[in-house]
Amino acid sequence: MSEDEKKQDETLFLQLVLMFQTAAMQQMGKLLNPLTKKIEKDLNQVKFSIDILGMIQQKTKGNLTEEEEKFLEHVLFELRMNYLDEVKADQKRKEEEKTESEAKKESQEEKGDEEN
């Protein structure tokens, strides 16, 4: 393989990783979706994108340059940390909605008791 082909492969690999990183950031709602022009969040899709990058990391182990390996490791770390933050925020939001819903239900029940 010529030096030019190696450089091209390295560039293509980095672009592949960036493609999944960008997709995951869009899926976390941290970047605008260029197709819909909206901020969207789909944590199942984020997990899928991260899992694909993790699989790529496992399948390419021992075949990457040091730069490629470090880049992929860094991207995976950042995505995983952001994903955990989003999952925690989503759980907190759901708990707050549940608490608000329960409080509203109790309030309606109290009003009903007062009317009777």
- Spatial distance between the Cα atoms of 96 and 26, rounded to a whole number of angstroms: 25
pLDDT of residue 109: 74
Q: For each of the chain's 116 residues, which pLDDT tens digit applies?
A: 899 999 999 999 999 999 999 999 999 999 999 999 999 999 999 999 999 999 999 999 999 999 999 999 999 999 999 999 999 999 999 999 888 888 777 777 777 766 65
CB 42 within 8 A of CB 89: no
CB 27 within 8 A of CB 41: yes
Identity of the amino acid at 80? R
Identity of the amino acid at 39? I
